[in-house]
Structure 1
Amino acid sequence: MRLRSLALSVFSSALLIGLSSSTPASAQEVRGFALDRFDPSERGSEWFVLDTLDLRGTARPAFGVVGEWAYKPLVVYDKSGSDEKELGSIVEHQLFVHVGGSITLADRIRVGANLPIAAYQTGQTLEVNGQTFRSPDSALGDLRLSADLRLVGRYGDPFTAALGASVYLPTGDRDKYTSDGNTRVQPHLMAAGDIGIFAYALKAGFNYRPLDEEFAQGKKLGSELFGAVSAGLRVANKKLLIGPELFASTVVTDEKSFFKKRTTPAEVMLGLHYTAGDFRVGAGVGTGVFAGSRGWGSPQVRTLLNLEWIPAYSDDRDGDGVPDSEDACPNEKGVRTGDPKTNGCPAAPPPPPDRDGDGVIDSEDACVDVPGVRTGDPKTNGCPADKDGDGVYDKDDACPDIPGIKTGDPKTNGCPADKDGDGVYDKEDACVDVPGVKTSDPKTNGCPPDRDKDGIVDTLDACPDQPGPSDPDPKKNGCPAARIEAGQIKIIQQVKFKTNSATIVESDTILNAVLGILKEHPEIKKIRVEGHTDNTGAAAYNKQLSQKRAASVAKWLTDHGVEKSRVVAKGWGVEKPIDTNNTEEGRANNRRVEFHIEETPDTGAPAKPAKPAKPAKPKKK
C-alpha cells in the first residue's frame, strides 16, 4: 500500500510538473480516435440506439436525419488526489448530423447506411505529461454499412430476433476524433417486442477495433463488448413511443482497460418518437451513467432530434395484395373476395350445384328448389323440417307436432280436421258438425255445453241449470213443468179454470208437478197460492174470483196430501199484471196462478232449489 501511494504521488507530481513546464516544442502530439459513442439505429426504428426490428416489406425504404449535440464528451482529469479533478475538455461541444437510409428486402433482410458529419466541434488544446491533445473542428465521420436478417417473429410480436453486422469504413479524420483511421467490424444480435402497450428492445455485440494504443493516463483503446436495452410504452393509438434507453461498452483487449472508467462509457437517455403517416419525429436527452461522465465519449449531457420518412406498411405476409388484417389465409397466396371468410384465400373449385342454397347438393336433395335440412332419409333429405310427417312443413304447420291436413288457412294448415271449427279435432269430436267445447268425456267432447244434461244445449235451454223436456216455445224449452226459482215455484203451463169459475180443469199434470216439489222439499214451511186476473169486468168481481181460484188450487194441494198449515191462498185480481191488458195474449198471461214460497226453516228465506228431474233422453243424432 505504501509503495502504491508513493507511486501515485510521484505520478501526480510528474503530471503537475509536466503541465507547468511542458512546451510545444518538447510535447508529443497525440492522435485521436472515433470518439462519438452515439451510434444511431437503422432508419425505420422507433428508438434512437435500439431497434424495433420493423423488417417488413419488399424494397421498402426509409430515410432520415438525426441531430446530436454532446457536452464534454472528452475530458482529461488530474488523478493526484483522492478525488479526480477536471483539467480540461479536449472536446467540449460536439454537434453531429447523422444522415442515413435503409431498405428492407424480402420481408426479412435489411441493408442500411449511415454517415455521421461533425458539423461543429470545439474544445481546449491541452498538454499533459508531455502529450499534446488538440481540440478538433468539423469533419466527416466513418461511413457505416449494415445488414440485418430477421430470425424469428415479426414486428409487433411479443418477441422478434435478428442477427446482423456493421462495417465502419475509415472515411473520417482521426485527428478530429471522427475515426480510428482503420476499418471497424461489429457483429450484433438484436431482439424486440410488444406486449400490449409495453415495448422493449435488446442489443449485444462485439466491436472489432484494431487500435491497440494508449490514449491517455495508461489506458489502451481496442476491441469492445457492447450492449443496450430499452423499455417504453406505446400510447396515442400506438403512434407515440416513449421510454429510456441504456447503452454501454468496455474495452476487452487489455485487462487494464476492461471495465475501467475511461474505457467503459455508459449512457442513459429518455426519448420519444411520434409517427404520423409516413413521417416520424423524435427527441431525447441523456447523460453519462458514471459520476462526472468520465468514460471517453460519454458526455455530461446529450440531446437528440430526428426526422425520418418511412412509408406506412400494410401487412401482406403472402404477397397476394390482401392485407393481413383482411386476409383469411395470411400465409397462403390467394384472391380477393367479398366474403371475409374467404378473402385472400386460394380460389376453391366450384362446389357441386345446390340450387336452393341449403347445403344439400342437388344430387342428394329431395327438395331441390326449397331450402331444407339434411336428414338421413333420401326421401326427406334437403327438405324443410316436418316433425309430424303430415306433408306440411313445420314453418307452415300450425300444428307441427300433430299430423294434420293441408288447408289454405295459416291458423289451421297442417292441423287435424275440425269441421265445426270449435278447436276439437273431428276424430275426437262427439258433435262433428256443431261447434262445442272441449270436455274430458268422449261422449260430450266438442259438443255444445248442456249444464243440466237434459239433452238441450245451453244456448237453446230456457232453464240451463234444471233439466226439462224440449218445447217449441223458446221460453219453455228445456224447462221442467215446475221448478224453484227466485223464491217461487214456477210452472210452465197455467192452471186452467172454467170461464168465470173457480173450478179447475185440465191441470192435474202441472199441479202434480207442484205437489211433487212440495213433497220433495219439506223444508218449505209455507207456500202462498196467488190468483191473478186480467182487467176484463169489474175489479171487485175479479178480485173475488181470483181469491176463489187461489183457494181452489190450495184445496187441491191439501186434498192431495199437503198439510193445510203449509198453504195459504191470496187473490189479487187485476192489481199485479205481468203483461199488457190491451191484447188477448197479454190478458191471457195476466190470468194466472203463482206459487210464492213464504217460509223456510230458521231464516224465513226461500227454499233451496228443487232437485232436478231426470232429463229427457236426447234425440239420436
Structure 2
Amino acid sequence: MRARQGWAGLFAFATGFSLAGSSSAQVNKARLDEGIRIDQLQPASPESPFLRALGPHEKGTNTIEFAFGLSFDYGMGLLKAVTIDGQGGETIAATPVQNALLAHVGGSITPLPWLTVDLALPVGLFLNGDLQESLDRYGVIIRQPETFGVGDLRAGLHFRPVDTKAFTFVAGARFWAPVGSTASFLSDKRLRAEVDLGVASEKGSFRWGCTAFVSPLFFIDVAGSDGERIALACAAQLRAASFLWVGLEPSFAMFNQTHASVEEGKDPPSSIDLQIEPLASVRMAFGGMQVGLSGGPGFGGAAGAPGFRGVLSLAYVGGGKPKPMAPKGPSDRDLDKIPDAEDACPDAAGPDNADPKERGCPSTDKDGDGIRDEEDACPQSPGVKHASAEANGCPDVDNDQLPEPVDKCPTEPGPAPEGCPKYARLKGESFEIKPPIKFSTGDQLTPEGQAALEEIAATMRANPKIEQVSVSLGTKGVSADLSDRRAQAIIFVLRSGSLDSNRYELVLRDDLRAGTVQARIIK
C-alpha cells in the first residue's frame, strides 16, 4: 500500500477508470484485506536503555539476567486513505487512524553472557479515525478500525561477540508471527524476518548506540515484499544526574510499498516510502527500575509514520553481574581493624596503641567524658579536654573551656589563659566593675560597659545557685525619657546574654549620679 502525505502513513487507490466487474478491483480488494501494519515503533529489548536501538551491555557472571518492559505509544495521523486521479492529483478520502494508543509488552532473558532472547507483543488500546461508516472506493472497502486489537508477536535472538560497557557489538535477528488483528491495522498476515546489527558504548557521562534492521526481502522484487523495510535507529544520551539521562533518539526507515491499481493487465506499481522520527528522550533509573519518556514529530509517507509520537516506557532489569566477593583478610574477631595476631585483646575491640601490650585493648572512661582514664587527670569527674596533662579531663564549672586546675576564676567565665572576667568580678555580695559602666552619648553604652554587662550575665549563668542580680541605674539630673532608654539598653544586653528575666531586676535610683550602674547579688 502506498504512503504519500508528508506526516501521515497512507494507502492509495487510482481512479479515472471503470472498475465494475474488473478482475483488477478484486485483486486490490484482496490486497487490502491482507492487512496493514501501523505498529512501526518496534521498541528495543527491555534491557536496553534506549527506545529503539540496542544499548551498551556488560557481561554478567554466575547468574541469569532478565528484564520486563511495558511501553505506551501514542501516535497521531498514522493512516490516511488517498485517491489519485489520472493526472496524479491526490485527495485525502479518509483518515482511518487519526489517533492510536498502543501498548508494547515485552520480556527478555540472557541465559548466557553473550546471548539474549526476547519477546514483544503490541496491543492496540485505542484507535479512532474520521470514518463513521465503511468507505467504498472502486470496489475496495475501507472499514473503521476496531478500537482494540492485538498485533503480531515478535521474537528476537541476539548475540554479543563483544560485550563491554566501553564497546558492545550485537548481531541477531527478529521474527514476526502473523497472529495480529487486521481489523485494527496491526497485522498484514505475513511472516517477516529482519537481520539486526548494532554497536553501542558507555563511557563516563555519555552513552550512545546505533542499530541497523535489514529485511532481506527489501532488496528482492518478489511477491510478499510489500511492507519490508530497512531501518536505522540511533541514540545519544548525557547523564544529567546520578539517576537521569537526557538525549536524542532519531530513527530512519525505508519501506517497500505496493500501491493498489485499477488498470487491468498491469502489475500494481511500487515505491520506496520513508519514515523519519527525531525523538527527544529522558531516561531515569532507580535501581533495577527504568522509566523513559520520548516524544517528537514524525515525517514521511510510510504507513504508520506519525505526525507526532509520544512514548512512556517502563522496564525492570534484574540479575546481572553480582558484586565480587571481597578478598578475605587476616582474622579480626573483634572487628577493631587490628589483626588478631597483633591484637593484645583479640576478643574485645579497642584502639591502636604504641604499646604492644595495650594495642587493641578497650580503654576505660569511668566518667564518660570521652577522655581515656589513663589520659584523664580527673577520671572520676567528667570534664573537658585541655593541653595540660594536670588539667585534661577535669571539670569546667563556669563553661569557659578551662578546667578548674588551670582556671584562676573557676566560678566566673573568662578568656584564657587565666579564665577570669576582665571588667566585672564577683566580690562577695556584689560585682566589682572596673572601669565603671558608662554611656558614651545618650543611651549608647561604651564597649567596656557592654562587655561588663555581658560578663555579669555569663557569671549568673555559670552559677545557678545565685538566684538574682539587682542592677541599679542612677537617674539624678537627667530626664525620665533618657533614663528609660538607658534602662532598656542594659536590659537588652542581659537578655542577649541568655539570662532569664526572672534572674535579674533593674532599679532606677535618683540618689545616684546619672549613668552610674551598680550590680549586687540578691539571696
TM normalised by structure 1 equals: 0.43
Q: d(CA) in 2 for partners of 1:73 and 1:286?
A: 14
Structure 2: how far apart are the matches of 1:52 and 1:270?
16
Q: Does the Cα contact within 8 Å between 2:237 and 2:245 map onto a contact in 1? A: no
Alignment of 1:257-296 (within 5 A): 257-259=270-272, 261=273, 264-290=274-300, 294-296=301-303
User: 1:323-369 CA distances to partner (integer Å, 9 max, x unpaired)?
Assistant: xxxxxxxxxxxx72349xxxxxxxxxxxxxxx9xxxxxxxxxxxxxx
Q: Any conservation in 2 of the 1:117–1:141 contact (CA below 8 Å)? A: yes
Q: What amino acid sits opposite 2:153 in the alignment? A: L
1:120 and 2:126 correspond: yes
Is the contact between residue 70 and residue 303 of structure 1 (CA under 8 Å) also seen in structure 2?
yes
**Contact 1:71/1:94, CA 8 A, preserved across alignment:** yes
Q: Which residue of 2 aligns with 1:163?
A: 171
CA distance in 2, matches of 1:49, 1:127: 37
Residue 180 of structure 2 corresponds to residue 172 of structure 1: yes
| Aligned partner letter, 1:278 | G
* Distance in 2 separating the partners of 1:209 and 1:34: 17
Match of 2:318 among 311, 320, 327: 311
The one of 102, 105, 115 aligned to 1:99: 105
> How many angstroms apart in 2 are the aligned matches of 1:184 and 1:37?
13
1:269 Cα deviation from its structure 2 partner: 1.4
Superposed, which structure 2 residues align to 1:44-123 within 5 Å? 44-54=47-57, 56-57=59-60, 58-80=63-85, 84-123=90-129
Alpha-carbon distance in 2 for matches of 1:166, 1:13: 38
Secondary structure, aligned partner of 1:39: coil
Output the amino acid matched with 2:309: R
Q: Of 250, 263, 267, which residue of structure 2 is paired with 1:245?
A: 250
Structure with larger Rg:
1
- Which one of 206, 210, 218 corresponds to residue 202 of structure 1? 210
* Per-residue CA distance 1:2-28 (angstroms, 9 max, x = gap): xxxxxxxxx97628x98xxxxx99x94
Among all aligned residue pairs of Structure 1 and Structure 2, give the percentage whose two residues are the same amino acid: 24
CA contact (8 A) 1:149 1:163 kept: yes
CA contact (8 A) 1:242 1:272 kept: yes
The answer to whether the 8 Å contact 1:209/1:222 transfers is no
User: What residue number does 2:36 align with?
Assistant: 33
- Could you tell me how far apart the structure 2 residues matched to 1:69 and 1:209 are? 29
Q: Is 2:277–2:299's contact at 8 Å kept on the other side of the alignment?
A: yes
Q: Is the 8 A contact 1:90 1:126 kept in 2?
A: no
| Aligned pair partner of 1:146 in 156, 163, 166 | 156
Q: CA deviation at 1:257?
A: 3.6
Matched, 1:43 2:46: yes
Residue type of the alignment partner of 2:176: Y
1:198 CA displacement: 2.6
User: 1:272 deviation in Å?
Assistant: 1.2
Give me the whole-angstrom Cα distance separating, in 2, the residues matched to 1:130 and 1:301: 32
> Could you tell me which amino acid in structure 2 is paired with residue 97 of structure 1?
A
Secondary structure in 2 matching 1:188: strand
TM-superposed CA distance for 1:66, in Å, is: 0.4
Asked if 2 retains the 8 angstrom alpha-carbon contact of 1:280 and 1:308, the reply is yes
Q: CA deviation at 1:55?
A: 5.3
C-alpha contact (below 8 Å) 1:96/1:116 kept by paired residues: yes
Distance 2:96 2:207 in 1: 38
Structure 1 counterpart of 2:327, which letter? R
CA contact (8 A) 1:206 1:225 kept: yes
Give the whole-Å Cα distance in 1 for the aligned partners of 2:222 and 2:321: 50
Aligned partners of 2:248 and 2:278 also within 8 Å: no
Unaligned runs of at least 5 residues, structure 1: 1-10, 19-23, 323-334, 340-354, 356-621
- Residue correspondences, number: 297
Structure with more contact order per residue of length (Cα contacts < 8 Å, sep ≥ 6): 2
Alignment partners' CA distance in 1, 2:328 and 2:58: 28
Quick one: distance in 1 between partners of 2:258 and 2:213? Answer: 15
- What's the offset of the Cα at 1:212? 8.5
Task: Determine the C-alpha separation between the residues in 2 that align with 1:201 and 1:116.
Answer: 24
Aligned 1:361-400 pairs, distance under 5 A: none
Deviation at 1:275, TM superposition (A): 0.3
The separation in 2 between residues aligned to 1:84 and 1:188, in whole angstroms, is 36
Take 1:13 and 1:180, find their aligned partners in 2: how far apart are those partners?
24
**CA 42–298 in structure 1, closer or farther in 2 if over 3 Å, else same:** same
Structure 2: distance between partners of 1:208 and 1:132: 31
Query: Matched residues in 1 for 2:160 and 2:287: separation?
Result: 24
1:285-330 Cα deviation digits (max 9, x unpaired): 122223xxx22110111111111111375566xxxx43xxxxxxxx
Q: 2: distance between equivalents of 1:48 and 1:171?
A: 24
Could you report, residue by residue, the CA deviation over 1:493-520 in whole angstroms, capped at 9, with x for unpaired residues? xxxxxxxxxxxxxxxxxxxxxxxxxxxx
Task: Name the SS for the 2:51 alignment partner.
Answer: coil
TM-score, with structure 2 as normaliser? 0.50
Q: Hey, what's the Cα distance between the residues in 1 that align with 2:89 and 2:278?
A: 24
Deviations 1:166-185 (A, max 9, x none): 11112212343111213211
Give the letter for the 1:126 counterpart: L
Unaligned runs of 5+ in 2: 1-12, 20-24, 260-267, 331-341, 343-523
Residue-by-residue CA offset, 1:94-148 (whole Å, 9 max, x unaligned):
1111111111222221111111111222222433343212122111111111111
For 1:4, the equivalent position in structure 2 comes to none
Counterpart mapping for 1:298-337 below 5 A:
298-311=305-318, 313-314=320-321, 321-322=324-325, 336-337=327-328
Q: Which of 113, 116, 134 is 2:143 aligned to?
A: 134
Contact 2:200 2:208 in 1 (8 A): yes
Q: 1:209 and 1:33, CA in 2 relative to 1: closer, same or farther beyond 3 A?
A: farther
Q: Which amino acid aligns with 2:212?
A: A
Change (3 A) 1:127 1:233: farther
Contact kept, 8 Å, 1:55 with 1:110, in 2: the verdict is no
1:205-220, aligned counterparts within 5 Å?
A: 205-207=213-215
Q: Measure the CA separation in 2 of the matches of 1:233 and 1:86.
A: 42
For residues 118 and 99 of structure 1, what CA distance do their matches in structure 2 show? 11
C-alpha displacement of 1:201 = 1.1
| Counterparts of 1:314 and 1:113, CA distance in 2 | 22
State the Cα RMSD in Å. 3.6
Partners of 1:174 and 1:287 lie apart in 2 by 26
Matches for 1:431-442 after TM superposition, within 5 Å: none
One-letter identity of the residue aligned with 2:40: R
Q: Secondary structure at the match of 1:49?
A: coil
* Structure 1 residue 241, shift from structure 2 partner: 3.8
Distance, in Å, in 2 between the alignment partners of 1:209 and 1:279 is: 38
